[in-house]
Each structure stands twice: as C-alpha cells, then as structure tokens.
Structure 1
C-alpha cells in the first residue's frame, strides 16, 4: 500500500517491464521541410518510415522539443492528441491518460515510459535533459512491450555520443507569482582515443526553484524549495563494423525542504476561506496558488540507473540484447490531512524500489516479403513501503511521525514474443502483420503486524500477511496496411492489452479471507482502430489521423473505506469487477507553408464512460465519465524564424471538460493555456524569453479528495497545475 491513509493512496501494481533497444539512431527533424517525409518510427522495435507504420504515433525530434520549450515530461502532452499527463504536484509522479484510458494516480500507470530502453512505470516529472527524440504511441503496445502499455507508450532517447566533438551549455531563469527559479544544464561528447571506435558523453543539470504553490503558514518558517541535480554518462563502443555496445548510467537527486510530494488545494477557495479562515487559519485567506498548512514538510528523492545494450548485425538479421538496473528511494513527509493551520493529523510516506530488466531478440532483414521479430524478456521488482502519521502538535519536526509496519511487494515476469509481417509479391501495396506475446507474471506481497494512528479516523491495525499468485496472459495484435501511393497510407489494427492482478492488504487487515476480495484479477482490454498517414506540400508537411474504440474487462479501480463523514477508517483496496468503454477520433499534422514558418496542430475527441462500476452500498456509476480524461484536447502553434535569426512562437493548448473523480462530483472546466516566445539565434548562440500560461489560469490536474481529517466539509480538494511562468534562457553550442 502506497498512500492508503495519506490521501487515499494505495497499492501500486507491479507490472512486467521489457527493455526497448537502446542503440543510438539519427532521428530526422520534423521542423525542416526537406526532411519531413523522412521521419522514422522506432516504437515497433524496427526502424520504420512514418508513412509505413501501422501505429498511431507522434514523433518529436530535438528541434521540435526545443522549439516547443518542452523541458519537463508534463509538457509533452500538448504535442499529441488525446494524451493527458496528470501530476499531483510539483514533485509528484506522473500519470498518463491516453484515449480515455486513465492512469489512477494511486494505482498504476496504464501507459509506460521507456528512457534509453529502460522502463519506468512510476515516472517523476524530471527535466528532459538533452533528449534526442520522443515517440508517443497511442493504443495497446503489449505485443512488444508487455503489461502496463495497454493505453500507449512514450519512448525517449537521450542524446548519444558520436565521432564529432560537440557540446552545449544552457542557462535559464524563471519568475512566477510565488518565487523564482534558476537552472543550468550541459552536454559534452565525442570520440575517446584515436581508434574512432569508442565514443563517450556526459550530460548534467542543476536547478534551484521555489515552490509554485506558497504555504502561508509553513512549519518553522521553512518555505518550499526544490533542488535537483542530474548527471548522466554514456559510452558507445564499435569493436567491429557489425557489433556495437552501449552503456548508460545516471543519478538524479531531488531535495525539497518545506514541501510534500502531493499538495491539494480547495476547488472553491471562497467556500474554504469562509469555513476555515477565522476558525483555524488565524484570519488568513488562501488564494488560487497559495495554501495554509502547519505540518512539518520535506521530500527527498534519489534515483540511480545503469543499463547496457548490444546490437550485432548478422547476414540474416540483427540480434539485440539489453539489460538494466534501476533503484529509487522516495521519502516525503507533510501531507496535511486537515488542510488548515490546526495540528490535527499529518502523514509521511517512504518507498524504496529496485528493478532488474532484460531482453534478447532477433529481427530478420527488412528487405524481404516476410519479416519477423522474436524474443524473450524478463523483469524483476522489489518494493518496500512504510507509512507514518503525526497526531496533534509536533513536539519535534519531521522526527515526530510515528511509522507503521513495513509493507512490501515483489514481481517476477517472463515473456516470449514475436511479430510476423508479410507483403505478398502479387500485392506489393498491402502488408499484413500478426504479433503475439505470452507473459507470466508472479505477484507477491507481504506485511508485518502493527498499527497506524489516524487520529479522528481511529487506529488501522496491520496483521502479518504473505500472499502470492501467478497471472498469465496471451496478447495478440493484428494489423493491415495499404500503401495507396508514395505519399498516402491507410491502416487498421486490433490489439489486446493487460495489467496483472494483485492483492488487497486492506482485506488481510480486516481478517477477510475471501479470495475474490484478497486478490483482484488481471485487467484486460481490446482496442480497435483505423487510421491514415499522408505527406503533403511536396514533403513540407505530414498529416495523420485515426478513429478508435476500446473496451475493458476486469477494470481495476481503487476504493477507500470511509465513515459517514468521509474520513478514512482503513486502508484502501482495489477491485476489478468493473469495465469502461472509450471511443473517439484524433488528427495531427506539421506543415511548412512558407519559408521560415512552421505550423503544428493536433486535435482529439474522446467519449470515455464507465460501463460497470459499483461503489458503496451497491451504488452504480455506470454512465459516468472516466476520471482524469478531457473530453477533447487540441493544440495550435505557429513559429516564424526570419533569416536574420530572430524568431517568434505563439501556441495555445486546449483541454476539454474533465471529471476529477469516478463519482463525477466535480469537473475541471474546459481551459485554453497560451504560451508565447521571442528569441534570437546567431552562430552557436541562442537567446529566448517566454511566458507559459500567459493568462495565469488555475487548473486542477489530478484526482480530488474530501477533507480527510474533518470529513466532508462542502468542498473537495485537488492538485493545482503551474501558474504563469516568465522565463529567459541563453544557450551556447559548439
């Protein structure tokens, strides 16, 4: 259980992870007209021209990301239709909703992120430091990537070393309503030695930023601040013309005094102030981006990653191998259950996770009518979690939290997968593909006896427990692509995705022995889509679109046991006796109608509803909108660069009305977020000033809760996205 009593947090599922290829490739830009028709998609684990791919995919290269001022993962969603990245705060993990398939912020991501072939299921909103390319794939990718890719996939490749010595340094400063921020990042790479066979690179980043949300009554007067450091090293060795070996290692550290990982503000600030300003907050009034808490707060995160891959070119195909190790530690104290300046109840979390991942696959030559990929993969994870609470005034600061017993979970996954594609010589414009993956996932969980004090909610008792089960799944994918011409193709695909089941330790705490309560089953989902891709304006643009329909079985949904006033009385639990249906349409494109002018646009519409979901005393939520899924997304950006080097960009990202919980008690209204840039490029120098969220819109960007200490107070509370940010940066490249 992750945050069961800390804002209804819960057991994170432990999905299977497989490595994607980590070798470097030269990604073409989508910002230069002469190369628009040369975009390569690597998500199918075989380099495929954009026009010949049977996947709904957005491909972004380094230039496209820099021009859109994408510096954090949360900024990526504006560039892809029907994609929404939800974050519960400046420090929180990120949860991805694609095509109406939401990722519950306290359960599991139904979309995965791979960085240089290393899988991330719980991804912090770290800086995108020197990224070479990003691919956002919509629709199930389980055939090649296994569990927890049922809604889609995000593939990130960071900048790789080459034979040419190159580097850059960037300085950035930001200002917003509650403070300032500064950062510096850089890259240096090139050949090592005179053999021209060994290459290396170093990338770094350091930042210091005030909290976007200001606490008006911080414990001991400690203001919120985020300090981040990142260091990455890469090696590439080519001992022969047919063999290449890559290695990567990095360290990411985050220190945030005065901040908890998740912060929740009232949706109705006026109602909150009317109820609590004089009663508990000493006459102080909260605002759109300010809040009032008294809990001792501090967050510390550390992440260490190491991976290696090899590619061997044979006469009949290519062998790829990849292994990786990732460890992450996250300690955060200061969740204020009462959300006021009174010392009623506060919480603390600690998670430690270790992941091992490996894959071996063979890809046939791609110049034959019949091509195929086959491979095996394995994944292991160990996770430990400890919750803690503080009831009443703290005699000491962060040391005043009383810890609950240790809870742990383990996962072991083994997979066999393959894909066949056939283009009949008699029908050279038609290609049929069939993919299949068999996966075995063993899940186990353990708990030690003890208790956790919830103050007004009473005591939660922990009992000794040790549970395990093996889940299996067979995941097919079929597709058909028709190349109507050299500039137009159509495709249709059907695919199955899944998430392994798991266990409810909350049931063990209450002596419930029914297997259907203790263990929830694997989630299964079928997705059907049809789409097209087209190059236009003689190679100076491309357009793609799709329609889709998705249906789930055994949909995994979290429940929280509360009293009549909405206060938690035990740990949360997960049920899988639910289902959803989602359908919609999406369109995206990039055009260069004039020299120096680039237009980027996308639009998506989704109708996602619960078909079956029972809560409470047999109350049905069938027909409700799926939470954290905007009804539509859209984006329009225009960038013009004069031959003198002066450039300007204006953009607007649109998000439709979005339900903030499964009961549909509150919605984030439709909103448009405007950004502007003005800059100058000359030789190796680049300077830019910009404004994000120009109109300073307040948006709720995650799941809402009641007041967990006082119960239902007429308000609900949710995480607030970033305010208006004004920034300036200067970069030097060599």
Structure 2
C-alpha cells in the first residue's frame, strides 16, 4: 500500500474504533458529577474538566488537541511525587522511571524526544506557561500543582520551539480570598519521609491574596552497593513556592511567583550485567569483582538492584526562579497578558560512575585501582523569558497572538574518566578528557492562532509562529591525569602529538590535544515558520471530532559532547510534520468516556549521532548531527467508565510504530559504514497499556473507604539505533494498589499505597562499557550497564485539608 494511503487508513481506522469500543461497553448509567471549573481526570467520569491546552480555558472534551489531565486525587492515591512517577500511565508518553538525579526528567511523546538532557528537549516543559529550557533540574515536586496537562503532538504555534513532540504543562494552584490549608505527611519503607504543606488566603481583603507551598521528600538508597558497603540511589530534596496575586483595579491582575529547590540526592548508580555473543543472550554474569581489568579473575553473578560502582555518588543541585504575570482586560473583547520570568539552576558538583563495575587495577603497566567510566560534572544555567500575548473574541472569531523572547546561558563542564578496557598488559588507560562548553541562545518569536466558528458546531483553526534562533558556542577540550589535574604540555610535550605518558600512567589521543573552537564555526542563526491548521466538529452533544496538521521545530545547536575540534560542529534544526485525527465521546449519560486519536509524524533532519563531514578536518567524523528522515505513526485510546457510582475504571492503550527512513553513511577513513534505515527508534515500546480500578466500599462507616489497583505494561524496545539484541529491554510491567479512608467531614484522608508490588526489576536502558574483553577466560564477554526501576515501596500518608 502506498505510504500516504496507509496514513489515511491509519487515521480512518483510529477514528472508527471509538464508537465500536463504546458499543461493546454497557455499564449502568451513573449520576453525573457536578460541574467544576477545574475538575480532575482521576479515573471516574466527571463533567467539565477544564484545560488551558490552547492558552484558553476549554472543556477537555471540546478541546481539539490530544491532551491528558492528571489531577490531585489520582496523584494522592498513587503517591505521585514527581512527573517520573507517571511513567507508563499516560497514553503516548514515555519517560524512564529513573534518571541521573531526581530533578532530571526526559520525556518522549509519540516517539519524539531527547534522552540526553545536555541538549534541548523535544518535549517542552512549562510551569505556569514559563518554559524550562533544559531537562536538567526540571520540576521536582507536585505539591501545589493543580493539574498536569500532557499535550501530544507539535505545539510550536502556541508554545514555541522545542515542543515538536508535545508539551508537559504544570499548572499550579492560584490563591483566592478563601482560606485554604492543606498538607500531608507520610512514612514508608526505605525510611521514606514525604512532607508537604500549602496555605493560601487573603492578605489584604479585596486587594491581595497569597499562598505558600513547601515540600520535602527523602528516602534511603534503593540499591545495595557491595563495593561501597552501603545503599545508593537515595533521594533528598526540599523545595517551596510563594505566590502573590494583586488585583488593584477591575480587570487587572498581577501575579508574582518565586520558587526554589535544593537537591542533595545521590546521582544514579547503575547495575552491571554482561552479554555473551556466542548465545546472543545476557549471560548472567555481572560486575568484574577480581583480578585486573585486563585479565579479570572473577565476575559476580548478575543481581537485580545491586550496583558495584566503585565511586561514591555526589550531587549538589539547586534550581529556582521568579515570575511576574500581568493580566489586563482592555475591554470586553480584548485581554493582554505579560509573562516575565528569570530562572536558573546549578549542579556543582555532580559525580557519578556509569559502568557499574568495581574499581580494579588496570593492568601491570598501571596497577592503581581505577574506574572504567566515571564523570565529574558542573552545570550552570540561567534564562530570561518575556512573552506579550493578546487575546480577542468577536462573535464567531477568536484569536491568540503574541511576541516571545528567550535568552539562555548554559555552561557545562564534563570531565569524563572513560578509561576503557585494556587490550594488552602494557597498555595505559586513556587520559580523562574535559569538555568545557558555553552556549548562549537567543530566541525571537511572533505567533498568531485564530478560530473561526462557522457554525456553533463547526470550527476552523489556523495559525503559525515565526522563529529566529541564534546561538553562540565556546568550547575547550583539556586532557587530565587520573588525579584530575590538567596535563601541562610544557612538562609533557607528548600531549601535543598524542601518545603514552608513562610518568602519568595515561595515553593521550592525538585528536584530543588541548584545543579551543574560538577560530572555527561558533555562531549560527536559524529561522523557521511552524504553521498549524485544523477543523473540529461537535457532531452530537457528546461526540466531538477534530483533525489537525501541525509543524514542529526543534532548534539547531552545537555539539556539547565534542571529543575533538573536528566534532565541535553545529547541527541543524529538526522538523516534524504531523497529521492527526481524533474523536472524543461520552456515552450512557456520561458514565463512559472514550477518546481516540490517530497520528502520523514525518521527520526531517532528525537530531542524533551521525557521520558528518567536518570542514575542520576535511574528513567524516562521528558527531551530533542530522539523520535525513524518519517517521512514527500510531494511535492512543483513553477510556474512563463509571458503571455505578462506587466504581471507577480506566483503560488506556498506545500503539506506536517508529522507523528510520533514511539513516545511513558509507565508510570513510576511520569512520565505519553504518545503516540504521528501517530500524526502530530506541527507547520506544510499540505497545503500552494502563488500567486502573477504584472502588468506594459500602462499609457503613461515617467516612468513605476506597480500594484501588492499577497496572501498566509495555512491550520490549531497544536502547540503540542498531537494534542490537544485546541492548534490548524485555517487555515488562508494574502493579500498584492503594487503600484510603476519608473522614465524614472530608478534612482527613489516610492512604496506604504500594507501588511495584511484585518487586520486579527491569533495565530502563543498556549501554556497553568499553569493547568486549579479549583476554583470559572471559574473552568475548561484553560488559553492559544500565539504570533500573525503583523496588517495591509501601507508603502510609495522612493528609489534611481545611
């Protein structure tokens, strides 16, 4: 079948499935919940869930965007503390359940994302419409978050660059004149302690209201480390937010917000395993525990949730910001909004071992105990954003338009101890290499999107954003010895030409001689236009259909992971053209909701590691660049049912097919040939399922007793572009449950939550640790490492709301 025909067939079949699914479900009618201006999507079917996915307040079921909403009740019952706890529960969204630090979250939506937090995200993250330019030090705690909106598909028109995959929007609670006091405290295994508080109310009646939120989350290490004889992978974060809302005149509102988070959690410690090429299976061996790296005498057996990483994990991170928002009604038709924000973060220092192996002598030539792979990192960032937005409504026409400015200064220093495995007893380890980069970004944008309501039921949408993105890049590469001291070329002239430095016990690569990019490509400007066009139709009171075309844009940049001057190059923007069609329906007097969306994404210049021509060296090099083309397609099904008042059910399904259409390069010099054409994207399961049930028990108690269970499952995926069996993550799932009791006055709620009840462990990714061992009894063994999910946790919480 021709590709365009397959796309249309896919979208048509996705649209047709929803009424079929609804026809096969026949729960008894339920009493509709009362309307609420900010109701939650927490498992049951509730009317008038309000979202701001189009920068306007609209009902979820009448919003022509594929969007999921996570509200307070669901988060409380499932003990959702950070966005990472939502892994596997949102259609179309993939996020790893663990990361380098608790504040570092990387998201994929419909196969679009970026697993490397040092580069721009492809799924934009926003706190109250303020963009977070890096995945590093993102949102840590959801204490005062009213809801989380997950927007799927390109959001470039209204939300800007680097939202080609979609957007994660945290909408925090806005204080009112009403006194609001709530908080919770709880304790669980691994000495987990979570404490959250929120208070809001009037400070000057009729003029000023305010709120304060605080949060502290901690737990002991989840992972046992025999090398350090302690548990690792702990959490220790504390944060807060202050919000003031001033209403000095009719139609004028000024909101001031300040927030900050301190994170002293350990960096991630990875679990080691091995791969045996002879039988193409994980061999069951784990970390090297005896002998030397050249000739190991013993391996540990692989043990889930056990890391032999030989260096203590260190992390000191701070993040925060201030925001000033002005909302002014010019008249009954026009409203002006100004959003000014200054944000910053610092990770200094961060030290983590990413080989999962014990520290051992390298060989006879270098007998000291060292790591195979280790990183010492310092990141600093600050950004300023300013948005001026005008919204208007006249009879059958409404619009949202504005101007946007972003400045970001991102400084990174990554000292990598990637010594590699020796191939002889006289080899010396590679010298640690320091990548010191500074990226300054300037984004200027203008956007406009309008809706023409042809009839009360039929609407056309059109819009676009024009973006100018400019970046400057300063980069240095410096060689170090194994003690972390820069190698002075005047004392060791070998560093100028590369080679062994016996006095320091290291070798220096000739291509990694100390360098700076000051006199080469170090500034570039890109321009893009990202249009959107759509149609929506309220076919019946409870049947809403929509179809959209949108273009997404992920800004170009420079290679912050350059290994030599020839690879410190710019890469071009990534674009994606998306078509999607969906249907949102409610049935049986609002007792059943069925929403379904089908989509097709066509990429151009996909940003990834590629072989590219370097004008610096006049050769092809392996660097961050652009693969010519790729695509993803699939569908997302969301259902919620309330067959009777005491039972709420949810069932979600995601199908995602990914393919590199053109991703190949011939051999050139030392760069080997490769072809990924036809392969799947890494980190993208083809199927994801989520189901939950919540039962209000008729126990005859003065309050309300609820029991709930949920589970998610995803099929296997690969960790690399080659789709190598060694890096395949097996299909897996998790089971969770809760029991809660709310007092009759609804002020106290006690919840017992269990997550990962089967205590199952799976790798979230697998990467090699150097080349395969070539000597000794373990010749041919490939060392692998990866992060694993948290273990079974049980948590008891008491919450109060006044």
Name which of 180, 190, 195 aligns with 1:184: 195
Aligned partner of 1:13 in structure 2 is none
TM-score by length of 2: 0.80
Shift of 1:503: 2.3
- Secondary structure at the counterpart of residue 74 of structure 1: helix
1:654 is displaced (CA, Å) by 1.4
> Deviations for 1:499-539, whole angstroms, at most 9, x for unmatched residues?
12122366693447xxxx82221111101111011122323
Match of 2:737 among 659, 667, 676: 676
| Partner residue in 1 for 2:469 | 441
State the secondary structure of the residue aligned to 1:662: coil
Alignment-derived partner of residue 763 in structure 2: 700
Q: Give me the whole-angstrom Cα distance separating, in 1, the residues matched to 2:461 and 2:308.
A: 57
Tell me the alpha carbon deviations over residues 284-318 of structure 1, each in whole angstroms, 9 at most, x when there is no partner.
Answer: 55510011122243111100211111111122221
Residue 46 of structure 2: aligned partner = 36
Q: Alignment partner for residue 336 of structure 2, among 309, 312, 319?
A: 319
Whether the aligned pair in 1 keeps the contact of 2:417 and 2:433 (CA below 8 Å) is no
Find the counterpart in structure 2 of residue 122 from structure 1. Answer: 135
Distance 1:505 1:131 in 2: 33
Q: 1:333 aligns with which of 332, 346, 351?
A: 351
1:720 aligns with 2:793: no
- Is contact 1:265-1:720 (8 Å) kept? no
Distance 1:126 1:266, change over 3 A: farther
Distance 1:429 1:40, change over 3 A: same
**Pairwise CA distance, 1:84:** 0.6
Query: Aligned residue for 2:490?
Result: none
Q: CA-to-partner distance for each residue in 1:220-271, whole Å, 9 max, x for gaps? A: x685543211121111111123111111111100113xx3346353366974
Tell me if structure 1 keeps the 8 A contact 2:243–2:258.
yes
- Asked if residue 685 in structure 1 is aligned to residue 713 in structure 2, the reply is no
TM-score normalised per structure 1: 0.87
Identify which of 553, 557, 561 aligns with 2:608: 557
Over 3 Å counting, the alpha-carbon distance change for 1:375 and 1:218 in structure 2 is same
What is the match of residue 397 of structure 1?
none
Tell me if 1:170 matches 2:187: no
Distance, in Å, in 2 between the alignment partners of 1:688 and 1:457 is: 58
What's the offset of the Cα at 1:413? 0.4
Q: 2 CA distance for matches of 1:698 and 1:180?
A: 20
Q: Is the 8 A contact 2:244 2:255 kept in 1?
A: yes
Q: Offset of 1:548 from its aligned partner?
A: 0.7
Distance in 1, Cα, partners of 2:515 & 2:68:
48
* Contact kept? 1:165, 1:191, Cα under 8 Å: yes
SS of structure 2 residue aligned to 1:94: coil
Q: Look up the match of 2:242.
A: 233
CA deviations over 1:422-466 (Å, ceiling 9, x no partner): 122xx4321111011000000111023632458877453341224
* Contact preservation (8 Å) 1:506, 1:571: no
How many Å separate the matches in 2 of 1:457 and 1:58?
A: 53
User: Is 1:520 paired with 2:534?
Assistant: no
Residue 59 of structure 2 aligns with which residue? 49
* 1:660 pairs with one of 719, 731, 736: 719
Q: Using the TM superposition, give the Cα deviation of residue 403 of structure 1 relative to its aligned residue in structure 2, in angstroms.
A: 8.0
Residue 168 of structure 1, CA deviation: 1.6
1:140 corresponds in structure 2 to: 154
Give CA deviations for 1:707-731 in whole Å, capped at 9, x if unaligned. Answer: 1487784242221111111111111
Which of these residues, 326, 350, 365, is aligned with residue 310 of structure 1? 326
The 1-side partners of 2:610 and 2:514 are apart by 18
Equivalent residue, structure 2, for 1:154: 168
Distance, in Å, in 2 between the alignment partners of 1:223 and 1:229 is 19
Could you tell me which of 366, 370, 390 is aligned with 1:344?
370
Partner of residue 363, structure 2:
none
Is contact 1:85-1:97 (8 Å) kept?
A: yes
Q: Does the 8 A contact of 1:276 with 1:340 survive in 2?
A: yes
CA distance in 2, matches of 1:447, 1:274: 37
What secondary structure does 1:496 align onto? strand
Q: Which residue of 2 aligns with 1:465?
A: 517
Q: Which secondary structure state, in structure 2, belongs to the residue aligned with residue 164 of structure 1?
A: coil
Matched, 1:431 2:459: yes
Partner Cα separation in structure 2 for residue 306 and residue 648 of structure 1: 40
Indicate yes or no: 2:599 matched with 1:581: no
Checking the alignment, whether the CA contact within 8 Å between 1:211 and 1:225 is kept in structure 2 is yes
1:539–1:653 CA distance, 2 compared to 1 (3 A): same
1:289 aligns with 2:296: no
Q: What corresponds to 1:15 in structure 2?
A: none
Q: Give the conservation status (yes or no) of the 8 Å contact 2:219–2:235.
A: yes
In the TM superposition, 1:259-274 aligns within 5 A as 259-261=266-268, 263-266=270-273, 271=283, 273=285
Q: Distance in 1 between matches of 2:597 and 2:233?
A: 44
Verify the 8 A CA contact 2:719 2:767 in the aligned structure 1: no
The separation in 2 between residues aligned to 1:519 and 1:115, in whole angstroms, is 29
Query: Residue 18 of structure 1 corresponds to which residue in structure 2?
Result: none
* 1:248–1:307 Cα contact (<8 Å) kept: yes
Residue 416 (str. 1) matches residue 443 (str. 2): no
Residue pairs, 1:356-371, within 5 angstroms: 356-365=384-393, 368-371=395-398
What is the rounded CA distance, in whole Å, between the counterparts of 2:254 and 2:174 in structure 1?
Answer: 12
Per mean C-alpha deviation after superposition, the further-off stretch among 538-547 and 287-296 is 538-547
- For residues 11-65 of structure 1, what are the alpha-carbon distances to aligned partners after superposition, in whole Å with 9 as ceiling and x for unaligned? xxxxxxxxxxxxxx941233597x8231122011111222221101112222233
In the alignment, what sits opposite 2:650? 600
1:75 aligns with 2:85: yes
**Counterpart in the other structure of 2:260:** 251
Larger mean CA deviation between 408-417 and 315-324 belongs to 315-324
Q: Distance in 2 between matches of 1:505 and 1:28?
A: 43
Unaligned stretches of 5+ residues in structure 2? 1-35, 276-280, 361-368, 420-430, 483-504, 613-619, 666-670, 774-779
Tell me, what secondary structure is at the counterpart of 1:51?
helix
Instruction: Note the aligned Cα RMSD (angstroms).
Output: 2.8
| Aligned counterparts of 1:456 and 1:690: Cα–Cα separation in 2 | 51
Out of 82-91 and 657-666, give the one that drifted further: 82-91
* Segment of structure 1 superposing worse, 706-715 or 415-424: 706-715
- State which drifts further: 469-478 or 126-135: 126-135
Kept in 1, the 8 Å contact 2:181–2:199? The answer is yes
Counterpart position of 1:102: 113
Change (3 A) 1:687 1:577: same
**Distance in 1 (alpha carbons) for counterparts of 2:416 and 2:41:** 50
Aligned counterpart in structure 2 of residue 387 of structure 1, from 414, 423, 438: 414
Map of 1:567 onto structure 2: none
Q: Residues of 2 paired with 1:337 and 1:613: CA distance?
A: 29
Report the CA distance shift for 1:338/1:226 in structure 2 as closer, same or farther (over 3 A). Answer: closer
Q: Contact 2:415–2:435 at 8 Å: present in 1 too?
A: no
- Pick aligned residue for 1:374 from 393, 396, 401: 401
- 2: distance between equivalents of 1:413 and 1:262? 36
Q: Distance in 1 between matches of 2:163 and 2:220?
A: 34
Q: Distance in 1 between matches of 2:135 and 2:560?
A: 21
User: d(CA) in 1 for partners of 2:622 and 2:102?
Assistant: 23
SS at match of 2:627: coil
- Give the drift of 1:144: 0.8
